[in-house]
Amino acid sequence: MDRTERFYKIELLIRNRACVSFAELLTELEVSPATLKRDLDYLRSRMSAPILYDRASNGYRLEPTVSGNRQTQHELPGLWFSERELHALLTMHQLIGALDAGGVLARHLQPLLDKLHGMLGESEGQSREMARRVKILGATRRPVAHQHFELLGSALMARRRVALDYFVRARRELTRREVSPQRLVYHRNTWYLDAWCHTAEGLRRFALDAVRDATALDARAKDVALAEVQRSLDAGYGAFVGGQVPVQQAELRFEAEAAQWVAHEQWHPDQASRMDEDGRLWLRLPFSDPTELVMDILRHGEQVEVLAPPELRAAVAQAHARAAARYASAVPTPASASASALTAP
């Protein structure tokens, strides 16, 4: 954290907590006492911050400033957020707005939205301007029915079972499941429910946009340790965990052109990578069900080669072949195009 970030964090902490002790500031900022004293002196003398030490409370507080007949709040110039803070605030703001498209959750979410507005700017106009000036793209978003999200979220917190009418896309089949919710997962612009499926007697991940109906049950949910949930469902690649499918290691090699981009991407928290002298990138990562990994490999086309395992290499080759066949059948050859032109009226 640089000095400018510390200045804003000091003022934000004092403003939000009304009064903050020297020890609390040290803990939050992770600096030496001498550095904190210099920061406080600089804010008072150079930035005109009305920071006062309150002996009765043994902490620092902001003295309200008066402009004319109106009390105003001191604001440091050029307020800005770090990349992670800004992304988190605006993502939460847009995410909450999308979840509440039907207005059912407004009574629950409005206090949080108000807080986010306050963090984005001192006034309604400032917060709206911030949201307008920074855009977070949510391509391929799959909306979730708000009534299902609210019911499943409530069941998760209350530790109650839920009966689901769930559409299995791979089989194009509507199934009936009784599940014990364990956690909600947000991945690639849509929501998933990690739950113990009493029908399959195992942990499964359910896409919430594939839920056709949900009913809360009185039965208490089966508790599964989060460590077990993580071990079972997080070891693979992406959302397609594949139940109890064994985890394998994928080895990919990207050509130099694609390597410039992929070298800065995280495909999996446990990945390993190496840049070769010729500019090509070698990437190794775990996966179980290959569905999502194959899709991500295909988007790089001829710029990537699957080195291992053979099953993944074959799956990518088959996907390439199917795509090429569909393209060939959809695009007429020069000979057929000429024939069509000759027979046209």
What pLDDT digit, counting tens, does each position of 126-182 carry?
A: 656 666 666 666 666 777 887 888 889 889 989 999 999 999 988 999 999 999 999
Percent of the chain at pLDDT > 70 equals 71
pLDDT of residue 35: 92
User: Where do the domains of the chain lie?
Assistant: 3-72, 83-133, 146-233, 248-330
Q: Tell me what the pLDDT averaged over the chain comes to.
A: 81
Q: Return the minimum-mean-pLDDT range out of 45-49, 89-93, 144-148, 221-225.
A: 89-93
Mean pLDDT of 327-337: 64
pLDDT of residue 36: 92
Each residue of 22-37: pLDDT tens digit? Answer: 999 999 899 999 999 9
- Where does the pLDDT of residue 93 fall: very low under 50, low under 70, confident under 90, or very high at 90 and above? low
Mean pLDDT of 263-289: 92
pLDDT of residue 164: 97
Q: Return the minimum-mean-pLDDT range out of 38-52, 71-85, 103-117, 153-167.
A: 71-85
For domain 3-72, which architecture applies? Orthogonal Bundle (1.10)
Residue that wins the pLDDT comparison between 117 and 309? 309
3-state SS string for the chain = CCHHHHHHHHHHHHHHHCCECHHHHHHHHCCCHHHHHHHHHHHHHCCCCCEEEECCCCEEEECCEEECCEEECCCCCCCCCCHHHHHHHHHHHHHHHHHCCCCCCHHHHHHHHHHHHHHHCCCHHHHHHHHHHCCCCCCCCCCCCHHHHHHHHHHHHHCEEEEEEEEECCCCEEEEEEEEEEEEEEECCEEEEEEEECCCCEEEEEEHHHEEEEEEEEEECCCCCHHHHHHHHCCCCCCCCCCCCCCEEEEEEECHHHHHHHCCCCCCCCCEEEECCCCCEEEEEEECCCHHHHHHHHCCHHHEEEEECHHHHHHHHHHHHHHHHHHHHHCCCHHHHHHHHHHCC
pLDDT of residue 269: 86
Residue that wins the pLDDT comparison between 83 and 293? 293
Residue that wins the pLDDT comparison between 116 and 268? 268
- Where does the pLDDT of residue 94 fall: very low under 50, low under 70, confident under 90, or very high at 90 and above? low
Mean pLDDT of 216-229: 94
- Where does the pLDDT of residue 232 fall: very low under 50, low under 70, confident under 90, or very high at 90 and above? confident
pLDDT of residue 115: 58
pLDDT of residue 257: 94
The yes-or-no answer to whether 3-72 and 146-233 have a common fold is no
CATH (one of 1.10.10, 2.30.30, 3.10.450, 1.10.3470) for 146-233:
2.30.30
pLDDT of residue 166: 97
- The predicted model scores a pTM of 0.59
